[in-house]
Chain A
Amino acid sequence: MTSGVLNLVLKRLAIAVVTLMIVLFAVFFATSMLPGDTASILLGQAATPEAVAGLREAMHLNDPAILRFLRWLFGLLHGDLGTSYANEMPVAALIGGRFVNTMELAGITTLLSVPLALTLGITAAMLRGSLYDRTVTVLSIGVISVPEFMVATLAVLLFAVYLKWLPALSSVNEAHTLTDLVRIYAMPVITLTFVISAQMIRMTRAAVIETLSTPYVEMALLKGASRSRMVLKHALPNALGPIVNAVALSLSYLVGGVIIVETIFNYPGIAKLMVDAVATRDLPLIQSCAMIFCLGYLLLITVADIIAIMSNPRIR
């Protein structure tokens, strides 16, 4: 790695940190605008004004926002995510197990969808204009154009209602055998795979097609190279940057997808936790969940950018 690359990577990391600060502040700021006074909500209708005031004091709710933000940030750095308002459990404990569940769901989906989407995208680009290409393109436009919950409901209709292969709901705790496990994860994973693959296929196809029209690919053709050689040796290595970006960007759709999928299939992950927390106005819980999602997203795009930087021979 030359100093040029190192510089670019460090610069990219610095940008990521600045972005993270802005995002954290935005999340904190938005959640502190939650309607209703938290103290009175916690104490219920019957609470006396004195009790509410006391609680406000104890929770530092009277401090200016920036001070509360810094205190929250300081807590984060020490691994203290705060205490849930709803059931007074540490947020970290609430999130812990569910975080693993969500990561499992996301991980399996990624392992399945990335190879699938790259294969479909690259082959569609190679066979541009063929029936295969048009089928893949139309299907991916279709999936992109509909909401995630529709993909999920269609999957339920097909696999659970008509074919009766799979249960409509997930319950991780009931998994005893491998078949159970497959049956539990199948529906959410199928739905999510559809949702994020479509975007990835389209972007990969576009990236490969763009490099296929460069003069150096024409040059390869005029050297007598076969179609597959032109794609694999000349187009793909140069489309790597855009493809990695496409993968990262599509994986970020996981965040949106996971929120819908966990809700629809009643899957015990953090997205479901967060949707419930929004309903009960559980501030620390919302903040922590939102932060985890943003962090994951930011991590993905930063890693993708760094890979793109390193795959550029002009800088390398």
Chain B
Amino acid sequence: MTNLVEVRNLRIEATTDAGRIVEIIKGVSLDIANGEIVALIGESGSGKTTVALSLMGYARPGCRITGGEINVNGKNMAALSEKQRARLRGTDIAYVPQSAAASFNPSSTIMEQVIEVTRIHGLMPPEQARKRAVELFRALSLPDPEGIGARYPHQVSGGQLQRLSAAMALIGDPKLVIFDEPTTALDVTTQIDVLKAFKSVMRAGGIAGVYVSHDLAVVAQIADHIVVLKGGQVQETGTTAQILSAAQHPYTRELLAAFEPKPRQAHADADAGAKPLLRIDNVTAGYGAVRDNGLPLIRAVDSVSLVVEKGRNLGIIGESGCGKSTLARVIAGIHPAAAGDIIFDGKELQRAAGKRSQDQLREMQIVFQYADTALNPAKPVEDIVSRPLAFYHGLDRQARSKRVDELLDMVRLPRTLRYRRPSELSGGQKQRVNFARALAAGPKLIICDEITSALDTVVAAAVIELLKELQRELGLSYIFISHDLSVVEAICDEIMVMYNGERVEQITPDRLKAPTHPYSKLLFSSVPKLDPTWLDGLVRDPELVSQYGHR
């Protein structure tokens, strides 16, 4: 056997809630050479995590490895007993989870958990293990490598936890490390540090790796080979360069196409009679006790002003915690502002939604990120979409039914879906229903709060296309809130960058290459590119990073 890992014709079955057995991995084969990093890429439900976990001989509860060979370092994980597998876990093969925050035991110190592998397998005395851990902390460029181990998981940030979980994986000197979407939950500026740290320790140790991800650009930075999965089957395998430059399979091409810059339509009425639809002036909002000056203790949004013109779109971009979602809720009146004015369609709005008129509420709709929680799971699609029709427009049953059909057509959903409940729809379909409900009100402005973030790349691209089409047909305006620059770039006429509750810069998409504010520079330069040399070639101003790389 020449390769470290040889998977042959792997089959895994899952038992559903109702007791049906479904094959979720349908004959997957793949190889990993010593010291090589292979990426498993695919959308949610493609089976990439299931395949990666099977390398440890593990299948999640309800799943079962039913066929094939999983040879790792000369041993067939599928045929070993549970005891024998446990002996290899942590020593031969280690795992870095998607959410480090959930994967650390909250009631034990970080150091205890990092060196647990050495205790379980009796690898070295605890003193030595601790020293080794501190070395790893340093190699992963964690702050305060001597002291961080004494803390509890909730006392360190997400980006640090992710690196700590890599230390936890590396302490047993594994031959193979499985990374399960380790940077998906992180902000882009943090993601860079984590990726760099991973790459350098893997390279230094000559360790082989499996990198599970849905993000081609991230994978391009770290992987030698790419395996594209869909529906539990391998679609295409190749070196990173091959996949990026000469993809054969249509699905791979679709993934790549989502990265290509979209042609932007120029607005015919671009500068002609552009009238402001929404203007907010010096709005401040936050949480916590209200102080003497009438402002809250913690300001999530601090003196922000913005203008949205009729038929045009404003993008708001920033990292988690920058206040962009709070700003959306302030505009919609869900979280009343503490100070400032909101002027909509020429009239000043009350700060709280409860005090606004029904027409004002109708004309400004908000669409949330997670269609799962935004759609009532107990109601069929037609009830969800027709409620605004009855509530705002007082349509009778027949008129509602007709209008529901039209709305489903508008969001490109088959009319037969109207009888389904949200749980019976795919992620993209749910988000379209979510959007159809907002359209049902007949709004002038739709606030889209991260509406594509929970979707797979290809699905998200289609939703954005739909939004553009609807805008042309209905003359809507959008406020588009996202952490993903490419999404905002694709649809917005103006982009506002937020940091720490404040608006730091507002620019147009064609000037994205040359932001003026240092934070915008850092943020824009941190977005991974498809180019595999991008990460290694990336030079960031250390002063900028220390000032704004807050995590």
Contacts and interface: CB of A to CB of B under 8 A. Distances in A.
Question: Is chain B in direct contact with chain A in the complex (CB below 8 A)?
Answer: yes
Contact of A234 (B86, B88, B90, B105): B105
Contact of A237 (B90, B107, B168): B107
Nearest to A211: B105
Q: Interface residues of A toward B: which range?
A: 20 to 34
A220 B105 CA distance: 9
Given A224-B86, A224-B89, A224-B90, A314 B154 contact: yes
A220 B119 CA distance: 12
Give the dominant DSSP class at A's interface. helix
B89 A221 contact: yes
Given A216-B104, A216-B105, A238-B107, A222 B58 contact: yes
Interface string B329-353: 0000000000000000000000000
Interface stretch (B37-45, B94-102, B435-443): B94-102
A223 B120 contact: yes
A220 B102 CA distance: 12
Interface string A201-219: 0000000000001111011
Given A215-B97, A237-B108, A238-B106, A220 B116 contact: yes
Nearest to B95: A222
Interface in A206-263: 213-216, 218-226, 229, 233-234, 237-238, 240
B108 A224 contact: no
A225 B152 CA distance: 20
B89 A313 contact: no
A225 B61 contact: no
Contact of B102 (A216, A226, A240, A311): A216
Nearest to A222: B95
B61 A213 contact: yes
Among A219, A237, A238, A313, find the residue whose CB has the most chain B CB atoms closer than 10 A: A219
A221 B121 CA distance: 13
A240 B60 CA distance: 25
Among A214, A216, A218, A222, find the residue whose CB has the most chain B CB atoms closer than 10 A: A222
Contact of A223 (B61, B89, B106, B154): B89
Among B56, B95, B105, B168, find the residue whose CB has the most chain A CB atoms closer than 10 A: B105
Interface in B67-110: 86-91, 94-95, 97, 99, 102-108
A224 B88 CA distance: 7
Nearest to B99: A215
Given A223-B116, A225-B120, A238 B89 contact: no
A237 B116 CA distance: 16
A224 B120 contact: yes
Contacts of B60: 218
A219 B101 CA distance: 12
A225 B56 CA distance: 13
A313 B116 contact: no
A312 to B, nearest CB: 8
B91 A214 contact: no
Interface string A287-307: 000000000000000000000
Contacts of A214: 102
B117 interface: yes
B121 A224 contact: yes
Contacts of A222: 53, 56, 58, 89-90, 94-95
A233 B105 CA distance: 9
Contacts of B86: 221, 224-226
Contacts of B97: 215, 219
A220 B103 CA distance: 9
Contacts of A221: 58, 86, 89
Interface of B: 53, 56, 58, 60-61, 86-91, 94-95, 97, 99, 102-108, 116-117, 120-121, 152, 154, 168
Nearest 6 Cβ contacts at the A-B interface: A224-B89, A224-B90, A215-B102, A223-B90, A219-B103, A237-B107
30 contacts: A213-B61, A216-B102, A216-B105, A218-B60, A220-B116, A221-B89, A222-B56, A222-B89, A222-B90, A223-B94, A223-B116, A223-B168, A224-B90, A224-B91, A225-B86, A225-B116, A226-B86, A234-B108, A237-B105, A237-B107, A237-B108, A238-B106, A238-B107, A240-B107, A311-B107, A313-B106, A313-B107, A313-B152, A313-B154, A314-B152
Given A224-B121, A225-B86, A238-B106, 6 more contacts: A215-B97, A219-B95, A222-B89, A224-B86, A311-B107, A314-B154
